[in-house]
Structure 1
């Protein structure tokens, strides 16, 4: 794929000429339509965490609420909605029956230098156990909801439930959570308040980068171990 990408780039810049395309692969992902807009109660909700009342946290993947989750992400998250590939879960938080937040989790990146050094696992163990990590790809508090400490509270709630939910969905738990924060947009305060650990910065290169130069914004890497012995569990090639 790296070679193919390089040849396409050379072709587009006029350095080489590739032969005409003979076959177009059927890619249903390229034809996927965006989620339809959802109509929900968007009355401003400005209160304290205690004043919000009982919060219900639901894992909504493969449930009737998944379409609403997708729609809210598409409408209100600055990155929009992207269909995850591989193992993933979706959570929605409700207050008084109204959605107030959405959190998306998926398989973790294969290699992340600061994270891999923090865990201390070998390349063999990483290859075997990368599925025991979950990556927070999206976190959305709906724009009309202003509740101090809600975000960190929800991160704590998910951290207590996600290992069991992942086991029920995929037959194995997760032992470690991670995410990226763009410091040009956000400070990551809610993650720090929920005791996530700042590990460092990304290199600014994608997984298929052809050089050592940064080609995208550097992001903060934050991690959250779910068990005290996460290093021992993840560093063993046969861990579960």
Structure 2
């Protein structure tokens, strides 16, 4: 008896795209045909078979790998063992070529020469970004979901920190009410919202107003960088600030809008018990017409 007949349902959506039994069978066929039989090769084959591409026609490998892992964990497919790590984004990380020197940086943001964001575009920069987040960010490192942009914060004296943006949260009550979209509208346009999932200033950096300045630099860069990389326009940024650990001061200083708090239940909660920390929800529109771009008609 197949898993579908045993009560394991086939999702009607997979990472935001329509999904059905025929898609599942195509994925199973690609797993069998993959050579070499590795998860990365399966993801490439699945993107080709399902025409899972971005606006520029490039395979959406990250989304495909996330979707395949979900199907694997649901027992609907069987993936080969991961070739590296443990398959959940928490495998051993290769460290950067060189760690920044822990030399105190103090003063005000105006004292910093050459302050800039450098996009993570090669393996060396990626290892440094991953390593800094793994070592110094309180949430640690996990791969950012979906379409993403990562930056290292630099000045003339070296690296000051790291900031990263990935796919937006699927459903957030206060955000969705503020935008004014319904479920269908959100599903169609969520890709135009980007989540600030990680923001780190290194522990020896004590520079007044630096955090809000970095947020402003990122907001100025993201529309152009995202369009160049993914061929789509992003119009709204979001982030979640854990309470009471952080006050969200730098987001307020950078003119992000505070919308309220999450429920604290998390997306997988089944008992409606508030088991997770509540988080303040902040958003930053990148254009005055962001609601129209998100499909909201007023």
Higher relative contact order (CA 8 A, sep 6+): 1
**Matched pairs, number:** 218
Greater shift, 46-55 or 169-178, is seen at 46-55
Tell me the secondary structure at the aligned position of residue 184 of structure 1. Answer: coil
Out of 93, 98, 106, the residue aligned to residue 34 of structure 1 is: 93
Greater shift, 127-136 or 48-57, is seen at 48-57
Q: Is the counterpart of residue 213 in structure 1 residue 273 in structure 2?
A: yes
Q: Is the counterpart of residue 179 in structure 1 residue 200 in structure 2?
A: no
| TM-score between both structures, scaled by the size of structure 1 | 0.84
Deviation at 1:133, TM superposition (A): 0.4
Out of 144, 148, 169, the residue aligned to residue 204 of structure 2 is: 144
Deviation at 1:51, TM superposition (A): 1.1
For residues 44-90 of structure 1, the C-alpha deviation after alignment (integer angstroms, 9 at most, x for no partner) is 11122111112121111445311111111111111111112311110
1:114-125 paired onto structure 2 within 5 Å: 114-125=174-185
For residues 8-30 of structure 1, the C-alpha deviation after alignment (integer angstroms, 9 at most, x for no partner) is xxxxxxxxxxxxx9x97435324
Deviation at 1:147, TM superposition (A): 0.5
Out of 55, 68, 80, the residue aligned to residue 128 of structure 2 is: 68
Are the aligned partners of 2:116 and 2:217 in contact in 1 as well (CA < 8 Å)? no
Q: Is the counterpart of residue 95 in structure 1 residue 149 in structure 2?
A: no
Unaligned runs of 5+ in 1: 5-20
Are the aligned partners of 1:204 and 1:219 in contact in 2 as well (CA < 8 Å)? yes
Tell me the secondary structure at the aligned position of residue 282 of structure 2. Answer: strand
Q: How far apart, in 1, do the equivalents of 2:269 and 2:243 lie?
A: 22
Q: Which residue of the partner structure matches residue 79 of structure 1?
A: 139
Unaligned runs of 5+ in 2: 1-6, 9-74
Q: Which residue of the partner structure matches residue 7 of structure 1?
A: none
Are the aligned partners of 1:120 and 1:235 in contact in 2 as well (CA < 8 Å)? no
